Amino acid sequence: MSPGVDRAARWGTAELARAQVPSPAVDAEHLLAHATGRDVGELRRERLLGRDIDEATLTAYRSLVERRAARVPLQHLTGTAHFAGLDLSVGPGVFTPRPETETLLNLALGDLEGVAHPVVLDLCTGSGALALAVAAARPDARVGAVELSPQAHRYAATNLAAHPAGRSVELRLGRAQEAFPELCDSVDVITCNPPYIPPDAEPVDPEAREHDPELALYGGGVDGLEVPRQIAGWALRLLRPGGVLLMEHADAQGESLPAALRELGFADVADHPDLGGRPRVSRGARP
C-alpha cells in the first residue's frame, strides 16, 4: 500500500527540521505540493482526507527534500518565488526576492500616492519583482528597470512578460549607475535593492551564501556601500526636485547608509524598519 500524503509530509518535516531548515513544515508542504502538481490548499485537503501518494511521486519528493536539507533554496527547487501576491520565476543566477523587500515596495507606493502618471525606476531589478509589483499597483505609471547580470535579466524578462502589468515595463540590461540617462531630472520615485554586503562578511543563511549570485550580494568598499553610493549619486541626477530614492540595506547599515545619502546631498533622509523591526530601507529626497 502506498504511503499517505500526511505521512509523507510529516516525514519531510522531520528531515528538514533535522537539517535545521527554517520553517520545515511549510517547506515540506510546498515541496510535496510541487511534487504532486497541486497547490498547498489542495495538498492540505488531501492530508485531511487520508489520500495516498504513488511511488514515483514519493521518490521525486524524497529527492526534493534531500536537496532542501542540503540548503538548496526552496524557490530554486520549485522554480517559483512569491512576492507581493505575485508568482515569479527564479533559479540559479538570480537573487531570490525576500519578504522584507515588501517594506521598500510599500514605501514606494506611499510616495506615489497623489502623483498622476508617475515615472518610476527600479535599479538592480534582479528578478523584476519590484518593477512588476509597482506596475501592477499603479497601471498609470511609466516603469523602467535595469539589471547588470545577463542571467538575472533573462529571469526579469520572463517575469515581466508573464504578467499583463509587466509587459509595459521597460527593461534594460546594463549598469544601474548610468541607466536611463534620458530621464534625468524627471523621475518621481527610484527603488533599489543593491548589493550591499561588505567584502569581509558573509550572509548568515547558507541559501544566500551558497546560491545567490555574488554580483547581487557584495557592495564593495570596506563597508559594502561602494555600489550603493554610486547608484545613489546617479539617482540624484535622475530624480526630479522632490523625487524620492528608496534603497534597501543590511541590518547593520541603518545609520551608515542614511549618513552616506546626506553626504551626497539628499534631503529629508530617514530610515525605515521592516516588519521584523530591523533597519531595512533608507529614504532620501532630491532637494
Annotated binding-site ranges for S-adenosyl-L-methionine: 147, 193
Q: Which residue has the cell 510546498?
A: 30
Measured CA to CA, the distance from residue 142 to residue 168 in angstroms comes to 8
Burial of 182 (0-12, 13-18, 19+ CB in 10 A): exposed
Q: Using alpha carbons, select from 71, 79, 65, 68 the residue that is nearest to residue 9.
A: 65
For residue 123, list its beta bridge partners.
146, 192
**Out of 97, 180, 193, 266, which one is annotated catalytic?**
193
Tell me, rounded to whole angstroms, the distance of Cα 25 from its chain centroid: 22
Burial of 270-284, coded b for 16+ CB within 10 Å and e otherwise, reads ebbebeeeebbbbbb
* Catalytic residue list contains 95: yes
**Out of 24, 73, 83, 95, which one is annotated catalytic?**
95
Measured CA to CA, the distance from residue 101 to residue 15 in angstroms comes to 29
- Of the CA atoms within 13 Å of residue 7, those in its CB half-sphere come to 10
Residue-level length of the chain: 287
Q: What angle do CA 65, 98, 128 make, to 5 degrees?
A: 110
| Contact residues for 201 (Cβ-Cβ < 8 A; gap 6+) | 224
**Positions at the binding site for substrate:** 193-196
**Positions at the binding site:** 147, 193-196
Q: Using alpha carbons, select from 37, 123, 34 the residue that is nearest to residue 72.
A: 34
φ, ψ (nearest 5 deg) of residue 119: -105, 125
* Catalytic residue list contains 159: no
Tell me, rounded to whole angstroms, the distance of Cα 32 from its chain centroid: 24
Q: Which residues are catalytic?
A: 95, 193-194
